[in-house]
Amino acid sequence: MGGELFVVFVLVIIFVTKLSVLISKTSCKSKVPMRGKVIIVTGANSGLGFETAKDLAKRGGRVIMACRNEHRALAARDLIIAETGNSGVVYKHLDMSSLASVRRFVEDVTSTEKRLDVLINNAGVNGCGDRFTEDGIVEEMQVNYFGIFLLTLLLVPLLKKTGESRIVNVSSTLHFFGRINFEHINKKGYYLDMFTYSNSKLCTVLFTVELARKLKGSGVTVNAVHPGIIMTNITAASCALERLLFSSLCWISSRNVVEGAQTIIYLAVAKEVATTTGKYFIDCKESYMTRKTKNKKLITDLWNYSEKLVGYEELKDQVTCQT
């Protein structure tokens, strides 16, 4: 009898959770056009990035699809152009697992674009195991955070020049499970994949809060977003058990990529958040973040560690932020 009651209890919890998720779903209701605006979307060839890029292209924006795989990116670009009629959608190569690629991408953008209105840091990976990048950084940490750190700071001058520009960092509610230990943050095999992912998303949230502080008064806003638990190709490198668990969570979440992209789009276009900065959003509403965002020493230590790891210290004179 006890076993039967437990099963019923679990089923009730799943049903209530699924119902609450369905009720909480929302969409970006802003109709703001993006004509004359320049937007960068990383990881835009599929999933959330693709849907975000397509929506912003429909609004008339010049969308730069920053992707690693040229073949998939060009196919995605052509599809977006065909569906939106916007020929101002372009592909530029960007591999977040290579800091040299990040620098080349920024050089390309800053030499060809006169403005940058929105930077959407969407690209991410999960389940990369113990792989190191060519830069000697754990791949999952570099793609999900350290690459974003360097990319964003190198683009700050163009964002500031544009004025009233926005940075949107795609994070995850899993950032609550993140732990930062500077002795092990870049070591192979110390964390399980799930916790490496959580750590990278925690770093992203802490980076968002600190960058917002440094850019206060510059006209550049920066916010983080949890898009929901959605089945995309981010788990392609994960083990079978992790994919099964993630698939189960996706079923409970009942979100597709179009729905998942809504909060990202909202932060990129909505007038009501034009001056909001340093916040974390879920379902187009501001939500609460981990208490670690109040730990000034942790945030400062992470910033300094990140600068050193990606070689940003050498470029400080080129990119100035308020201190």
CA 169 to CA 205: how far, in whole Å?
8
Nearest Cα neighbor of 230 from 15, 31, 46 is 46
Is 219 exposed, middle or buried (CB count within 10 Å of its CB: 0-12, 13-18, 19+)? Answer: middle
Is 111 exposed, middle or buried (CB count within 10 Å of its CB: 0-12, 13-18, 19+)? Answer: exposed
CA 246 to CA 175: how far, in whole Å?
16
CA 35 to CA 63: how far, in whole Å?
10
Residue 68 amino acid letter: R
Catalytic-residue membership of 312: no
Question: Could you say which of 91, 145, 191, 197 is catalytic?
Answer: 197
Tokens of 299: 């945030």
Give the angle 201-205-211 at the CA atoms, nearest 5°: 135
Is 69 exposed, middle or buried (CB count within 10 Å of its CB: 0-12, 13-18, 19+)? Answer: middle
Residues with a catalytic annotation lie at: 197
